[in-house]
Chain A
């Protein structure tokens, strides 16, 4: 027994020694962060020497963002929101911080821990923050909050919402003109109202451009499972769909892979996704989460932050379509622009629910 204890003590000592050995090199990086910004500043100065005023114009603010369970690196709206803060950091020199949520019951505690740290504004990315943000906004009336994709009715919450149905309508028009089989596909992430806005806006657009076309619609019950996206896309293609649009985050990566392998058109979502496959991504529906985050952040910096709904639609370039790869024909672009102008002027309302879609009559433009 005593032998064992001695060996245990020896092991403990060795561990301690390793700690001690480690702590010295570790101490160096500890001082480095202090040195690094200085080094960065000098390189910045070197590149932008003509504008040293930028340094003095630096805004001493901290902005926090909480992702949903998708986390950073989702190539979708969490990343897009983070890009918005990146722009604020580059232009105003604010400091940005992020908390990634492990599970749905992290939303509330993540909000309170940012609020408790008294950052200048807290963004909750995703409508799932709805109830917990309403509670946090009441608990911290002096803290500014912003929520993406949902409406929280409180003076200290800016609700950043998007007219996804309008952007989806435009790619629906393009899909309707492109299809040769008169069948197009839609893949949704999960069946809830937000994603249905994409679905019915898209269906209305297809109907407007090609009344004979049929839309095959499926839901993946996931925003991450690329294999499932590929599976659904393959089945839809076998049923005759030759243009498929997705609103399903990472699931869409599988759709684009299937499009590449089997030779049909995919339509991207949120950001321009043509970089994934320039030959097979026809166009993308754009949702500028980064712009929403940027504009609200700017209002905080300028001191005119306002709660309430901030709607980003076609009218203010918050949603739209893009074609970085140049796959669209002139005719398609002309048609999309025609509808875009009509929506922007409010000539008609794009449906966003099943009921509205069923009642939708294609207007004469």
Chain B
């Protein structure tokens, strides 16, 4: 038990320290913009946690971050850097709209699981491509997955403008967004069964996201599949020697990773926006997901906590803008947290090396 607590402390202390330092340094930037850090940070907290509807909006912001954070963390465990969360998220979103349009006559209780699975499936395919190329041809997954982001963006824009446009499917005038998913395909909102959530648009996707985090934890640490994936991440050649297929696990891990990001996109469509807009830029959740995974130390439960932190900062920055503090300050704080977390890895690397040198192991 004591060992466990020590282990937890060891893993939590650096992120907490990094967060504290980041807020401290962030306050310098707040002062530079002629504002008070106290006003800024109390606005940040009040805006994100001040009352239940505000907390609901924070959880709403947290939901996709949990999914993309899990996606990145899961791939990291098998030694892969999935930078394609953006594309997988978008493909998940567009798959959901497509499935909801094609199957709109099905009753809600069947349709909702199907469209969410369609989103996860779309993301899994999009994540599987770099996995396959890495496993079979040795193409670096970073290059492939980042390029697939842009293919996903422009493919989505094309589908929204032509194939899935209301003008094509419903005969309305040309719109800059896709058809809306039908009413009965939408996720339940919290304020429909818990009125205390007031104006918040929080939907049950948050529960699905938490379930995913627990499920991924179980998969990684309690099953053979998870053991194999982690083993490939630690040392692929040793694993192969032990009878674990490298290529199978790389493809599998990228598909699960992509599926998680895709499900994130699917839940945003089914719970919040109900349609996909034509967009000139990537949505941003995939990239923030990298930071979420990093702060969460690539542990599914750590990802939950760090996604909440990013959700708080993102939603709280609204109130900060009300107080006249530019939203970029929050971006600066996020950046500093990441630098410190990355710095921790460097620090650890140096200390272990030093220890090894002391022991005379470096020879």
Contact = CB atoms under 8 A, between A and B. Distances in A.
Given A99-B318, A139-B199, A221-B157, A26 B31 contact: yes
B279 A99 contact: no
Interface in A90-128: 97-100, 102-105, 108-110, 112-113, 115-117, 127-128
A115 B20 CA distance: 33
A99 B57 CA distance: 15
Interface stretch (B96-104, B242-250, B270-278, B294-302): B270-278
A190 B279 CA distance: 8
A27 B35 CA distance: 10
A11 B180 CA distance: 53
Interface stretch (B36-44, B74-82, B230-238, B353-361): B36-44
Interface stretch (A15-23, A48-56, A159-167, A282-290): A15-23
Given A26-B31, A29-B31, A102 B177 contact: no
Interface stretch (B111-119, B220-228, B280-288, B342-350): B280-288
Interface residues of B, number: 51
A18 B25 CA distance: 10
Contacts of A30: 36, 38-39
Nearest to A136: B199
Given A112-B201, A139-B199, A193 B176 contact: yes
Contact of B278 (A102, A108, A139, A190): A190
Contacts of B275: 131
B37 A11 contact: no
A196 B314 CA distance: 34
Contacts of B174: 192-193, 196
Contact of A100 (B201, B281, B283, B327): B327
A105 B324 CA distance: 22
Nearest to B198: A116
B281 A15 contact: no
A223 B157 CA distance: 14
Contact of A110 (B21, B24, B268, B318): B318
Contact of A99 (B154, B200, B278, B321): B321
Contacts of B284: 102-103
A69 interface: yes
Contacts of B17: 11-12, 15
B8 to A, nearest CB: 14
Contacts of B315: 109
B145 interface: no
Nearest to A109: B57
Contact of A128 (B53, B154, B277, B321): B277
A8 interface: yes
A190 B280 contact: yes
Interface in A21-70: 22-23, 25-27, 29-30, 32-33, 69
Contact of B176 (A15, A105, A128, A221): A128
Interface string A129-158: 001100000011000000000000000000
B24 A26 contact: no
B289 to A, nearest CB: 13
Given A29-B36, A109-B60, A100 B321 contact: yes
B53 A116 contact: yes
B254 to A, nearest CB: 25
B4 interface: no
Contact of B21 (A15, A97, A222): A15
29 contacts: A8-B13, A15-B17, A15-B20, A15-B24, A18-B24, A22-B24, A25-B31, A27-B38, A30-B38, A97-B321, A97-B322, A97-B324, A99-B318, A102-B284, A104-B277, A105-B268, A105-B273, A108-B272, A108-B273, A109-B60, A112-B199, A128-B177, A131-B177, A131-B274, A190-B278, A190-B280, A191-B161, A192-B161, A224-B280
Q: Which 4 A-B pairs have the closest CB atoms?
A: A30-B36, A192-B176, A29-B36, A222-B280
